[in-house]
Amino acid sequence: MTVPHWLFGDQLGPHFLASGADVPVVMVEARSVFRRRRFHRAKAHLVLSAMRHRAAELGDRVRYVRAETYREGLRAAVGEGPVTVHHPTSYAALRLVRSLPSVTVLPARGFLVAHEDFRGWAGGHGGQRLRQEDFYRWVRRSHDLLMDGDRPAGGRWNHDRDNREPPPKGARTLGAPPPYRPREDDIDQEVRRDLDRWEREGSVAFVGRDGPRRFPASRREALAALRRFVGHRLAGFGPHEDAMLAGDPVMSHSLLSSSLNLGLLDPAECVERAEGAWRAGRAPVGSVEGFVRQVAGWREYVWQLYWYFGEDYRRSNALRHREPLPRWFLELDADAVRARCLATALAQVRDTGWTHHIPRLMLLGGYALQRGWDPQAVTDWFHRCFVDAYDWVMVPNVVGMSQYADGGRMTTKPYTSGGAYVNRMSDLCGGCAYRPGDRVGERACPYTAGYWAFLHRHRARLERNPRMAQPVRGLDRLADLEEVLRREGLRGGDPP
């Protein structure tokens, strides 16, 4: 008898079924997932649509079960019989599959680097900080990615310096060719009707708007999105990667994260096609390197750290931040916010469940960090509100990268800045109620005041950090520090 194979909802591409073309498949749509958390509705829509599209492709081969829990669904599909599954992507799901005696767990798919290989690499660093840059170069070498022999193709490992340009002066948009957008079909309509019904029944609640679906829900759509990106948008990816424009939220970003994380695309095919575009002379090396760095560097690094740091990592709170998230933030109430940059980012999350990495890091995460919000609650918020968010990717990105709650295991310094950074890297300060240069007064920028208040609060820790010592010394030059702190104290959880 052929043993059936169980696919989780983020294992939807052909590389999760490589073991055999005829293996029967089991998929479980577990309603409890949506009851536990208040997800963005566009995320719930995307995940359900993608699962149902995959089931439609597999036809008679799949037993698709709708159940309250995974455990119940699996029992309905295969009874106590044996089943295989690829290593899931969260500790909770791994615990579940390991607790079921009939389930055989196969190695993870959907990443370039195997867990054992990463442990080997990390072990070679003798307990020192695991630097993303070192890891990334090791991946490039070991996968012969964008290499000319043993040298980096194009002569340099790192093009970050060229890839941090502010937006072009006076431009309202970057003028990149538009990204791929899918067209909804009958499956989407069915998903929407189900979500409406569940909401009416009161069994689930969502945040955010579920407009027309913006992200691929099938392999066919995901491949079209990848082709569109590599063929038309990759060439301009690099230079303005970190810039923000109010009227152009996507700029040259790939919008491929949800497809990669649903397993619709394999990272290998993404980076290979990007490299192919450079070799064919269709994209400059700086842009291609920038993209390869994101996928083969950052995405892999984050996946590995999630497992390497262990399950308790999510509870790290080195800065002892305990403030609850205010209601306006939880409800994505962008209209309540006057600070134009934060209002713009929050509105993008509300309307699409997506922003690019700088609004996530410097605006949304940065505001939370400056105000001392509980990092676990911030992680939960990101997890619920972003279409591409899963436990493995959220925990290191939020706990480590954005909230510095791990005390520097992942990054060498906290990522936070005053309004000057936002002003340099965007057009968002124009027309804002606040002025980036003002620390005090009616028009004091909340990021500028928040930055100094953050440095002051954590002075003892940060002055020992070589990368922060100089900014911390800047506190001594502020004649109005008391006033900054007083006003920050008064702000409380009110929207800025």
Residue among 55 and 401 whose Cβ is closer to ligand FAD: 401
Residue among 364 and 472 whose Cβ is closer to ligand FAD: 364
Residue where the block lists tokens 């702000």: 491
Contact with ligand FAD (CB under 6 A): which of 77, 255, 369, 472?
255
Residue 30 C-beta: closest distance to ligand FAD, Å? 20
Residue among 52 and 299 whose Cβ is closer to ligand FAD: 299
d(CA 474, CA 377): 31
d(CA 450, CA 318): 19
**Residue 98 burial by Cβ neighbours in a 10 Å radius (0-12, 13-18, 19+):** exposed
- At 52, list the tokens: 């149902």
Residue among 78 and 244 whose Cβ is closer to ligand FAD: 244
Residue among 352 and 402 whose Cβ is closer to ligand FAD: 402
Spatial neighbors of 282 by CB under 8 A, at least 6 apart, are 231, 234, 235
Residue among 389 and 444 whose Cβ is closer to ligand FAD: 389
Residue among 11 and 397 whose Cβ is closer to ligand FAD: 397
d(CA 395, CA 315): 9
Site string for ligand FAD, 376-395 (x = CB under 6 A): ------x---x-xx---xx-
| # binding residues, ligand FAD (CB under 6 A) | 28
d(CA 341, CA 343): 6
- At 44, list the tokens: 């719930």
Give the residues across from 83 on adjacent strands. 103
Q: Binding to ligand FAD (CB under 6 A): which residues in 343-382?
A: 356-357, 360-361, 365, 382
d(CA 343, CA 403): 20
**Residue 102 burial by Cβ neighbours in a 10 Å radius (0-12, 13-18, 19+):** middle
Residue among 261 and 304 whose Cβ is closer to ligand FAD: 261
Query: CA angle, 125 as apex, 120 and 130 as ends, to 5°?
Result: 95
Residue 253 C-beta: closest distance to ligand FAD, Å? 3
Residue 324 C-beta: closest distance to ligand FAD, Å? 19
Question: How would you label 47-59 residue by residue, b for 16+ Cβ within 10 Å and e otherwise?
Answer: bbbbbbbbbeebe
d(CA 427, CA 361): 17
Q: Binding to ligand FAD (CB under 6 A): which residues in 29-68?
A: none
Residue 480 C-beta: closest distance to ligand FAD, Å? 31
Q: Binding to ligand FAD (CB under 6 A): which residues in 395-414?
A: 397-398, 401-402
Position 277 contacts ligand FAD (CB under 6 A): no
**Residue 168, phi-psi category: left (phi > 0), alpha (psi -120 to 50), beta (remainder):** beta
Site string for ligand FAD, 282-311 (x = CB under 6 A): ---------x--xx--xx--x---------
d(CA 493, CA 496): 9
Residue 40 C-beta: closest distance to ligand FAD, Å? 12
Residue among 176 and 420 whose Cβ is closer to ligand FAD: 176
Count the neighbouring beta carbons within 10 Å of the beta carbon of residue 125. 12
Residue where the block lists tokens 């070589």: 466
Contact with ligand FAD (CB under 6 A): which of 254, 316, 348, 416?
254
Residue among 89 and 402 whose Cβ is closer to ligand FAD: 402
Dihedrals phi, psi of 109, to nearest 5 degrees: -125, 165
Spatial CA neighbour of 319 closest among 385, 368, 380: 368
Instruction: Catalog residues that contact ligand FAD under the rule CB under 6 A.
Output: 253-257, 260-261, 291, 294-295, 298-299, 302, 356-357, 360-361, 365, 382, 386, 388-389, 393-394, 397-398, 401-402
